[in-house]
Amino acid sequence: MSGQEYRGIDAEIEAALLDSELFIKYGSMGRAISRLQEAIARYPHSIELRERLREVAATMKLHGEAARQCLALARLYIERENFDAARERLLKAKEHAPAISIAAGLEAIRRARRPEIASAEMAKATPPSAVILAGDLALVSIFDCIQTIENSRLTGALAITGSTRSGRILFNDGQIVDAECGAERGVEAFRALIEAAAGTFNFERGGPYPAAIAAASNTSLLLETLRQLDEERAGDRAEEDLA
């Protein structure tokens, strides 16, 4: 992208921020939120837009929207290795929506700060003579498996065998590119597999594989998937309460 294109994007983001401030000044908070949401749809990686929408939503006590922006911001801050800001946004998301779980996000930050932790724990769980990574999900979480594979830039398949679901997550150079779980493929299969808390895993070299999952990073894919799962669970609980 050329410098001129970057300047054009910056100008559009600045225009959206100024428009929202004008709407707020004249008491049209709803239009301010709509303007910011429209701009975020075009520039989803803009921290400035998301931070402003978070502030406006919190002021209006739109806790669901504020929590969503906090989770998105945490993902963006992790990608930029601003781990303190990412942790603050995760904690703020929990304040806005106490039902959501941020444990996985906090763990992702811890692992990103200290990548050697996951590698050391994986080494303890892997048989010394094994050619592939293997272990028990009760001892080593699936998140640690993914972190170790990413740090080692491995290409191959992580097979998950659980009591309720089994499948594979496929990697090219440590990046998740596809997943398989029963009849599901891609992101849906990945969503099913990361909920596995018990069972076994093993990683075997293979590939490379065609990319069916496109994500900026494994961390962003994990956080976005966990956010969606939390929202779905919250919706299910709300429906149960109404029933």
Tens-place pLDDT, residues 105-115:
777 777 776 65
Where along the chain do its domains lie?
Answer: 3-98, 115-221
Instruction: Let me know: does 53 contact 212? Beta carbons within 8 Å.
Output: no
Torsion, Cα of 12, 16, 18, 24 (10° steps): 180
Tokens 């962003």 — which residue?
220
Question: In Å, what is the CA distance from 60 to each residue of 30, 93, 130?
Answer: 9, 15, 56
- CA-CA distance, 33 to 25, in Å (whole number)? 13
Q: What is the largest CA-CA distance in the chain?
A: 70
The model's confidence at residue 55, banded by pLDDT at 50, 70 and 90, is very high
Correct CATH for 3-98 of 1.25.40.10, 3.30.2020.10, 3.40.50.1100, 3.30.70.260: 1.25.40.10
Tally Cβ neighbours within 10 Å of residue 115: 13
Which CB contacts under 8 angstroms, 24+ apart, belong to 117-121? Answer: 118/144, 118/147, 118/148, 118/151, 119/147, 119/148, 119/151, 119/152
Count of residues making up the chain: 243
Helix (H, G, I), strand (E, B) or coil at 231: helix
Average pLDDT over residues 133-159: 81
Q: Is the pLDDT of residue 236 over 60?
A: no
Mean pLDDT across 9-34: 87
Residue 202 has pLDDT above 80, yes or no: yes
Full-prediction pTM beyond 0.75? Answer: no
Is the pLDDT reported for residue 15 higher than 70?
yes
Q: Give the integer Cα–Cα distance in Å for 165 and 26.
A: 54
CB burial string 126-163: b at 16+ within 10 A, e below: beeeeebbbbebeebbbbbbbbbbbeeebbbbbbbebe
Residue 169 confidence (pLDDT)? 92
Contact 141/195 with Cβ under 8 angstroms? Answer: no
Cβ-contact 124, 160 below 8 angstroms: no
Q: Which two tokens stand for residue 192?
A: 């099913």
140-144, 154-158, 187-191, 239-243: least confident range: 239-243
**91-103 pLDDT, tens per residue?**
998 888 888 777 7
